[in-house]
Amino acid sequence: MRTAQLTIDPAFTIGPADRRLFGSFVEHMGRCVYGGVYEPGHPTADGRGLRGDVLALTRELGVSVVRYPGGNFVSGYRWEDGVGPVGDRPRRLDLAWKTIETNAFGLDEFMTWAAEAGVEPMMAVNLGTRGVREALDLLEYANHPGGTQLSDLRRKHGAEEPYGVRLWCLGNELDGPWQVGHKTADEYGRLAAETARAMKMIDPSISLVACGSSNRRMPTFASWEATVLEHTYEHVDYISAHTYYDPSDGDRASILASAVDMDNFIRDVVATADHVAAKQRHRRKLRISFDEWNVWYESRLQADLDRRGWVEAPALIEDDFTAVDAVVVGDLLITLLRHADRVGVACQAQLANVIAPIRTRTGGPAWRQSIFHPFALTARYARGTVLRTEPVSPTYETKKYGEVPVLDTVAVHDEETGVLTVFAVNRGETDLPLDLDLRGLPGLRGLAHTSLAAGDDPTATNTEAEPERVTPREMNTPTTDGGRSSVLLPAVSWNVLRFAPTGDV
């Protein structure tokens, strides 16, 4: 049996585990909003129509920030349609997802929901079919205290205090020809720069995200980022990155190694941004907002779109996630943490029903999908400083990525409590012994080992009938001897190893 080794030293730091890395995404797509976070008349809904069971699961998930209202949806959206008396709001065609948008849920409802969920709002402005003026109007409505037409309109609608939205996306995936209002890099870059400059005239405290490529496979990838940042670098705080991994598109060995691709994606975007910074003599390092990522059976999307006409909130890409999918999601979270020095925001897409950790039945219960668990536990325990790890690991062969390590890891050290948390994925089909050298943090004892493994049924899913079929389980508590510890990572598994100073809980 092959063994892996890992040395942990608190001197080798990456950066703080920013809480914004544990973001999610609510788009007007499928049943994410209607039947997901919002369902008037549901047994758990409050007087505003917000589903209480979804709110509770959102808090349990540990979500820190939520991006809204899209996604592709935002490129054709009029934000004014979603404020004011619900009975006066117009019904519109949504070209992005071929649905009818009722606008019963809009900005004011989202901000109320965000406050109830305890999450930070991340708003996207429409730079597909709209521009600078509309973005300024939205910012004035949301953030200006009062005394102007739009800020007073917000107060009239019941929000006396400004919403104080700090994070703003300058459009969405405008490199994609599927996007309503698709643009060239120069067209978008100039518009984004003009919009950013004007928005910061209203509120200099906001942070802005420029659109990067919609995925790394785009023919314009990297050249898009370079051109956009040549226009926007001095005006924005983040460049976005989006990626999804389709388990039906390749062999299991490759899907288990998806984080290898995400890792390279991040490095490529960082290199491109740093090139622009050097070229323009900027000393500030731009960060990445990885504001769309997940496992997604994307090959099923077109069939979902083609089999119906224009309807309200149809079931759309409601994927049932397997145990293997949960291991992949856990590994993607490891990668985001490993780049905590340059990735400042990350949003798993989406929160409810649409390729989501939370599933619901209209009028019925809500339950946790398999991918809920690695997200929730990482959000709970990744607190403190991310430490650099260089594991020594056996390798295996994949069709997509060649030879990759069996083991993937990251460590987070909480300086206040002294607790060390190691997140580890075994991508291999056999159990993997792992030897840890913890002498850089003397006096640690094993606290817990939690594992989510594919086990005998890697295709197992959580359903309404069996909502707890795929859940993490507690393993033997790690023992330490002379600053060393040995654990066994089950085959195809995501693991949390926790160590605490002797005498502490």
Give the C-alpha distances (Å, rounded to integers) separating 352 from 28, 81, 358, 366, 434.
Answer: 11, 23, 5, 9, 36
Give the C-alpha distances (Å, rounded to integers) separating 184 from 173, 192, 213, 214, 227.
Answer: 11, 12, 11, 13, 10
Mapping DSSP to helix (H, G, I), strand (E, B) and coil, where does residue 438 land?
coil
For residues 6 and 422, the answer to whether their CB atoms sit within 8 Å is yes
Q: How many residues does the chain have?
A: 505
Give the whole-angstrom CA distance, residue 328 versus residue 494.
8
Give the whole-angstrom CA distance, residue 31 versus residue 354.
7
Give the whole-angstrom CA distance, residue 306 versus residue 301.
9
Does residue 416 have an active-site annotation?
Answer: no
Q: Are strands 420-426 and 407-413 parallel, antiparallel or unpaired?
A: antiparallel
Give the C-alpha distances (Å, rounded to integers) separating 479 from 7, 126, 229, 297, 476.
Answer: 16, 54, 50, 40, 9
Number of neighbours of residue 301 by Cβ within 10 angstroms: 15
Give the whole-angstrom CA distance, residue 172 versus residue 231.
17
For residues 382 and 412, the answer to whether their CB atoms sit within 8 Å is yes
Listed as own residue / partner, the contacts of 298-306 with beta carbons closer than 8 Å and 24 or more positions apart are 298/244, 298/246, 298/249, 299/246, 299/248, 299/249, 300/248, 305/97, 305/98
Q: Which candidate in 292, 464, 466, 474 is catalytic?
A: 292
Residue 52: half-sphere exposure toward Cβ, Cα within 13 Å = 7
Q: Which candidate in 173, 234, 298, 397 is catalytic?
A: 173
For residues 485 and 477, the answer to whether their CB atoms sit within 8 Å is no
Does residue 173 have an active-site annotation?
Answer: yes
Mapping DSSP to helix (H, G, I), strand (E, B) and coil, where does residue 485 land?
strand
Map tokens 């949504």 to a residue: 94
Give the C-alpha distances (Å, rounded to integers) separating 457 from 26, 133, 373, 453.
Answer: 31, 54, 17, 9
For residues 347 and 25, the answer to whether their CB atoms sit within 8 Å is yes
Instruction: Kindly provide the residue ranges of all beta strands, DSSP E only, lying in 134-266, ordered along the sequence.
Output: 167-170, 207-210, 238-245
Give the C-alpha distances (Å, rounded to integers) separating 158 from 45, 61, 120, 479.
Answer: 20, 29, 20, 56
Give the whole-angstrom CA distance, residue 150 versus residue 448.
53
Report residue 27 as tokens: 């788009």
For residues 314 and 35, the answer to whether their CB atoms sit within 8 Å is no
Q: Nearest 5°: phi and psi at 191?
A: -65, -45
Residues labelled catalytic: 173, 292
